[in-house]
Amino acid sequence: MKCLVKSKAEKGLWMETRPIPQIGPDEVLIRVNQTGICGTDAHIWNWDEWSQKTVPLGLITGHEFAGEIVELGRNVDDLSLGQRCSGEGHLISKHSRQSRSGKFHLDPETKGIGVNVDGAFAQYLALPAFNVVPLPDAISDEIGAILDPLGNAVHTALSFDLIGEDVLITGAGPIGIMAAAVAQHVGARHVVITDINQDRLDLAAQVTDVVTVNVSTTDLQSVIDNLGMKQGFDVGLEMSGNAAAFDQMIEAMVMGGRIAMLGIPPGKSLVDWNRIVFKALTIKGVYGREIFETWYKMIAMLEDNLDISRIVTHRFPVDRFEDGFAAMLSGSSGKVVLNWRA
């Protein structure tokens, strides 16, 4: 089978031919139809400090996918051949307190496909049946291939009650934009998304009709005033990993506001804890998706007309994967999808 491999300790990925994986009794074999390129994949492509410490050379990368089941392990009796699916890319253990209490997304022994073990940038993927998420007919393979990042957006957005609330999102990358669409879909009052990349803000305006603000040219306080929000935002979703954006969010929150943080800063950053304490802010770190509650909720919202289709801006056959990564690394794309059946 064809697959994309981190075969050298330098920038890039390389197309290789590997044997089709052999599955165990509790696994399924999935023929991959489409895959999304994630920010994590871009880190691996760039072979940055994190990647060098985390990713073994020779690894098949990729973790956002949609496909169909072509082989069942002998113990698998709740899935079927030909069934369309996506899947949870976090492989959990069954030993930790968190796993044994059903808090699978908090398992400290988690391994990631395409990061720690062979992943989905391949024509075939072996996956535990436990991790398989069947796709309803209403969800296309293209959307199925980006359910992983949508799940990050849903997990972050639904960390706090949003009904009737005023929501600030910092960072208009694809996940931030999808979080804005989710916040609006579930009943937030005002949703504002900020960035300094106008291309990303323009994409946000195409995907949803929330308020977009380029904070390099527009004062956020003037937007707050124009919206009639006397005290500021009730809920903040920090998606940028940028310290200046986080500082701006803290200033813009109401007393007792709540912040969910998905963005990862590049290193240690200064935080004005006095402002956080004296504003009585609640801050929650978000990692991955709640397994499998987030999947249930995002599929339900998609079936209830949550439309994120325009977040996909680039589509390439897998043989043009280098063009796909160039688009992803440009900083002006939405989601980039590779077609493995083209």
265 and 329 assigned to the same domain: no
pLDDT tens, residue by residue, 165-188: 999 999 999 999 999 999 999 999
274 in any annotated domain: yes
249 in any annotated domain: yes
pLDDT band of residue 309 (cuts 50, 70, 90) is very high
Q: What is the pLDDT at residue 71?
A: 98
pLDDT band of residue 342 (cuts 50, 70, 90) is confident
194 and 212 assigned to the same domain: yes
pTM equals 0.95
Across-strand partners of 282?
258
Q: Domain range spanning residue 164?
A: 153-285
Task: Cis check for the bond before 292: say yes or no (omega within 30 of 0).
Answer: yes
CA distance 84 to 31: 10
From residue 30, alpha-carbon distances to 18, 20, 66, 79 in Å are 15, 10, 9, 12
pLDDT band of residue 269 (cuts 50, 70, 90) is confident
123: pLDDT strictly greater than 90: yes
CATH number at residue 320: 3.90.180.10
Name the catalytic one among 17, 35, 43, 105: 43
**3-state DSSP assignment of residue 179:** helix
64 and 311 Cβ atoms separated by less than 8 Å = no
* Count: domains in the chain: 2
Phi and psi angles of residue 77, each rounded to the nearest 5 degrees, phi first: -125, 5
Look over the chain and give the mean of its residue pLDDT values, rounded to a whole number.
96
Name the catalytic one among 35, 40, 170, 208: 40
Q: What is the pLDDT at residue 230?
A: 83
308 and 185 Cβ atoms separated by less than 8 Å = no
Q: What is the mean pLDDT of residues 231-242?
A: 96
290 in any annotated domain: no
Residue 341: half-sphere exposure toward Cβ, Cα within 13 Å: 12
Q: What is the pLDDT at residue 266?
A: 81
Q: What is the pLDDT at residue 163?
A: 98
79 in any annotated domain: yes
Q: What is the mean pLDDT of residues 201-224?
A: 96
Catalytic residue flag (residue 40): yes
CA distance 216 to 334: 21
Q: What is the mean pLDDT of residues 214-218?
A: 97
Catalytic residue flag (residue 282): no
303 in any annotated domain: no
136 and 114 assigned to the same domain: yes
pLDDT tens, residue by residue, 83-107: 999 999 999 999 999 999 999 999 9
Percent of the chain past pLDDT 90, that is, above it, reads 96
From residue 101, alpha-carbon distances to 5, 91, 107, 275 in Å are 36, 16, 10, 35
CATH number at residue 197: 3.40.50.720
pLDDT band of residue 317 (cuts 50, 70, 90) is very high
CA distance 115 to 51: 9
pLDDT tens, residue by residue, 46-70: 999 999 999 999 999 999 999 999 9
89 and 39 assigned to the same domain: yes
pLDDT band of residue 265 (cuts 50, 70, 90) is confident
pLDDT band of residue 267 (cuts 50, 70, 90) is confident
177 and 211 assigned to the same domain: yes
Q: What is the pLDDT at residue 339?
A: 98
Q: What is the pLDDT at residue 95?
A: 94
Give the E-state strand segments of 62-150 in sequence order.
64-72, 84-87, 90-91, 111-112, 124-128, 132-134
